[in-house]
Amino acid sequence: MTADAGASGVDANGPYYRLRVAQVIDETADARSIVLEVPAELAGRFAYRAGQFLSFRVVVDGHRLVRCYSLASAPGLDPAHKVTIKRVVDGRASNWMNDHVRAGDELEVMPPNGVFCLRTRETPIVLFAGGSGITPVISIVKTALETTTRPIKLLYANRDEASIIFRSELDALEASHPDRLEIVHRLDAVHGFVDAPLVVEQVGARTDADFYICGPGPFMDVVESGLQSLDVDSEQIFIERFESPDSGAPAAGSSVDTSAGNVAVVLLDGNETEIALGDGETILAAARRVGLEPPFACEEAYCGCCMAKVLEGQVEMRMNDGGIDQRQIDEGWVLTCQGVAKGRVRIQYPD
């Protein structure tokens, strides 16, 4: 999979579109929802499946950050795109979004992405959400209730009662679908942390289900280990990680073997940096190694946050798990977390 430099430069907004904030909703003391207006001409571009996310580019203290937020709204059921952002202690973008975004503001947003979605099956659906992990999960629950006849069970873990996001909406869904939806709330302050035996108990006889897991790392690990002890096939397990995995990229300032002679000239934030690349090193890893701060999130080719445009030369992507679509590839964009240069290349991150 390769992208060659096209004749044109970087578009004004690159892969981002400016969307107006229609409404900001306080959900809990540390989580807010942002409802976006998608103009009719972008409706196709912003069509989404339950479980997908949007990537936002924001400027915090002079630093441009790109962060993914799952759509908590359900396509075709809710009138507008809605994301819900929970504050992370000392987190830059999440606190900025909670503190500064107001109705009427415009945000830079990349179209929906992601594969944490429903598949066509008759089997039950069992979902495990922790904290802000409820966002894609509630969208999947609503969509599955509306478009399938599958029985659904949700275990939702939170610190305490006050941290439960979408409490009244979840109560209403359960009340209107008593024979199809069962929701179990677990509160750390009351019940302690979720552990593997609890996961086993909650799954019960539903070992043929599709399992969806989204929440803090340790929560997801416990759920996964519970499912593994039940011999659930990995194909039945869908996981959305809100944290970037450790990429194993060399730390800033470390050295690599650059004898292969590949070079990337990287344009980022108005600066141009020439980088001698290690053998097989991705452009994102190289940029970080020399101390640049390019945008990235998943590093697994599905979020699209690290996209840059190839201006000269040839960049080969190791893989693409939906992070970039064919139209963008045709326009010369690549995922730099997967992009390996052949010879000398010049790439530009979106302005």
Ligand X SMILES: Cc1cc2nc3c(=O)[nH]c(=O)nc-3n(C[C@H](O)[C@H](O)[C@H](O)COP(=O)(O)OP(=O)(O)OC[C@H]3O[C@@H](n4cnc5c(N)ncnc54)[C@H](O)[C@@H]3O)c2cc1C
Residues in the site for ligand X, rule: CB under 6 A? Answer: 53, 65, 67-70, 83-86, 88-95, 132, 135, 240, 242, 297-298, 303
Determine the angle formed by the axes of helices 134-147 and 167-176, rounding to 10 degrees: 20
Rounded to the nearest whole angstrom, what is the least distance from the CB of residue 89 to ligand X in the complex? 5
Q: Which is nearer to ligand X, 182 or 300 (CB)?
A: 300
**Least gap, CB of 238 to ligand X (angstroms):** 12
Rounded to the nearest whole angstrom, what is the least distance from the CB of residue 303 to ligand X in the complex? 6
Nearer of residues 69 and 180 to ligand X, judged by Cβ: 69
Sign, CA dihedral 147-151-156-162, equals positive
Q: Are 277 and 47 in contact (CB under 8 A)?
A: no
- Quote the tokens at residue 25: 């909703």
If the CB atoms of residues 182 and 321 are measured against ligand X, the closer one turns out to be 321
72 and 321 in contact (C-beta within 8 Å)?
no
Closest residue to ligand X, based on beta-carbon distance:
91
Q: Which is nearer to ligand X, 70 or 338 (CB)?
A: 70
From residue 270, give the alpha-carbon distance in Å to each of 58, 63, 181, 330.
17, 13, 52, 24
User: What's the closest the beta carbon of residue 116 comes to ligand X, in angstroms?
Assistant: 8
Instruction: Report whether 98 contacts 46 (CB < 8 A).
Output: no
Token output for 132: 């802000």
Nearest to 14 by CA among 346, 334, 298, 342: 334
Q: State the nearest-atom distance from the C-beta of 275 to ligand X, in Å.
A: 22
**Do the bridges between strand 17-28 and strand 31-37 make them parallel or antiparallel, or are there none, so unpaired?**
antiparallel
Q: Shortest gap between Cβ of 321 and ligand X (angstroms)?
A: 12
The interaxial angle of helices 217-229 and 196-203, nearest 10 deg, is 60
Q: How is the beta sheet containing 152-158 ordered, strand by strand? A: 181-187, 152-158, 125-130, 210-214, 237-240
Q: Which is nearer to ligand X, 84 or 202 (CB)?
A: 84
Question: Residue 83 or residue 203: which is nearer to ligand X going by CB?
Answer: 83
Residue number with CB closer to ligand X (92 or 150): 92
Distances (CA, A) of 153 to 106, 177, 210: 37, 11, 11
Residue 98 Cβ vs ligand X, minimum distance, rounded to whole Å: 9
